[in-house]
Amino acid sequence: MLYRRFGKTELNLPVLTLGGMRYTKGWDGPHDVLPDETLENAYDVASYALEVGMNHFETARDYGRSERVYGKIWPRLAAAGETKSELRQRIIFTTKIPPMPSYDHMRQAIEDSLERMDIDTIDNFDIHGINNEEKFERTFQKGGCLKAVQDAMNEGLIQHLGFSTHGPLPLILKIIESDAFESINLHYYYFFQRNWPAVQLAAEKDMGVFIISPNDKGGQLFNPSEQLVQLAQPLSPMNFNDRFCLSHPEIHTLSLGANTREQIDSHLSSIVADIQEDASPGSELKTVQQRMDQQSERLQQSGQLCTVCHDCLPCPENINIPEVLRFRNLWKGYNMQQFVTYRYNMLEAHGDWFPGQFADKCTECGDCLPRCPEKLPIPSFLFEVHNQFYKPKKKSH
Ligand code: SF4
Ligand code: SF4
């Protein structure tokens, strides 16, 4: 395993983090009932993760049974002769709690997490999902959520403070500029590079940078299109994306929501010790990246590439134009229909975690058209994506 200094936290994190959100029946309720199969699956994967050096476990209050599962299984991970406290020192836990409405709510939630995870201190704590202005305000409300976290830090219940976000880039930059956090947990990967300025600003401020879901939200790269497989040769699409992310020294660790040993194995070959070499022109990684980039260039030459610049917003119908047209890029450039179907149909169902209406709500008002530097026929592209990928939800009776 390769380890990187997680910014000013001074934690030494493995470049691959074990995400705890996909264990067998991990999301089923009731969450305080932990089936044997969930515990055995988590134990098996976590023990293997430790064996290969992935000693950073990530979870969240809102990941179903996840915190409680870790609380039950981690004490069993001790090596022969190792005490519980020696084992605890080897494991770094990150958990996340959303911005709570008051000091007392936040305090209670922190105490709940400690109890569920059977730990005395949270090594790295994130305010979970500062996705919009409302959550920003709630986080920074005087005497509220952040004060509860700071008091918990003074008492030693939390060691380091960061935040996670699925929000828009200007909001992310504003949160970083607040200087309230030591690390950031955000989306950035080959097929979504818009947040690069946030990664750079975080690095300037010596913050830890943790990448959310590079495989799943990053393109379901564990289930790639044939075209993507060919473009990524001799790497796998997943290894390409891992290495693309890690070729930036500003990025310290990637979350890997594994629920089998094989999934961990499939990422181990992504670890390249010499990132300078990986990032240099002519390297294996750069050769693949050039081939990938050429697909976008082809789209641009034919007047079809959305550069995800966001200049077209706002849309009066609250259509997330850049994201829908990014999906069109992935479809036309890389044949990623499966991923686009999965992701497009998450619109209108996940609130501020994935905002925006379905593209068929476009009224063709034309407001966005003069703002697009690429002169894209936005409404017709939107309808094209909707007609191709929208799957009406089955009504339950
Ligand atoms: S044309 Fe459609 S996408 Fe563009 S601003 Fe109007 S409603 Fe929104
Ligand atoms: S302005 Fe044009 S290129 Fe930019 S995000 Fe909107 S549609 Fe895409």
Mean pLDDT to the nearest integer, 85-101: 97
Q: Are residues 188 and 329 in the same domain?
A: no
| End position of a domain, from candidates 217, 244, 279 | 279
Residue 287 lies in a domain: no
**Nearest partner of 156 among 188, 110, 194, judged by Cα:** 110
From the CA of 305, give the closest atom in ligand 2: 3
- pLDDT for 333 beyond 90: yes
**Nearest partner of 214 among 199, 234, 233, 231, judged by Cα:** 199
Residue 180 lies in a domain: yes
Cβ proximity of 227 and 220 under 8 Å: no
3 state DSSP class of 304: coil
Element (H, E) at 239: helix 237-246
As a dihedral over the C-alpha atoms of residue 9, residue 62, residue 131, residue 15, rounded to 10 degrees, the angle is 40
Q: Are residues 266 and 347 in the same domain?
A: no
- pLDDT for 275 beyond 80: no
Give, in order, the Cα–Cα distances in Å from 182 to each of 11, 163, 305, 369: 11, 8, 36, 40
Q: Are residues 89 and 216 in the same domain?
A: yes
Residue 319 lies in a domain: yes
Number of domains the chain is built from: 2
From the CA of 378, give the closest atom in ligand 2: 7
Mean pLDDT to the nearest integer, 66-82: 94
Q: Are residues 44 and 75 in the same domain?
A: yes
Domain holding 384, by residue range, is 302-389
Spatial distance between the Cα atoms of 370 and 302, rounded to a whole number of angstroms: 19
Q: Are residues 143 and 180 in the same domain?
A: yes
Residue 396 lies in a domain: no
Q: How many CB atoms lie within 10 A of CB 249?
A: 12
98 is written with which tokens?
């959303």
For residue range 198-222, list pLDDT tens digits in order: 999 999 999 999 999 898 888 999 9
Q: Are residues 65 and 137 in the same domain?
A: yes
pLDDT at 348: 87
pLDDT at 349: 83
Q: How many CB atoms lie within 10 A of CB 173?
A: 15
Residue 72 lies in a domain: yes
Residue 380, ligand 1, Cβ within 6 A: no
Distance between Cα 137 and ligand 2 center (Å): 29
Mean pLDDT to the nearest integer, 275-291: 87
Place 154 in a pLDDT band, splitting at 50, 70 and 90: very high
Mean pLDDT to the nearest integer, 287-306: 97
| End position of a domain, from candidates 228, 244, 279 | 279
pLDDT at 395: 60
From the CA of 307, give the closest atom in ligand 2: 3
Q: Are residues 253 and 167 in the same domain?
A: yes
Question: Which domain CATH number covers 264?
Answer: 3.20.20.100
Q: Are residues 188 and 84 in the same domain?
A: yes
Residue from 306, 310, 317 whose mutation best tests the ligand 1 pocket (most atoms within 8 A of CB): 317
Q: Are residues 41 and 148 in the same domain?
A: yes
Q: Are residues 269 and 332 in the same domain?
A: no
- pLDDT for 379 beyond 90: yes
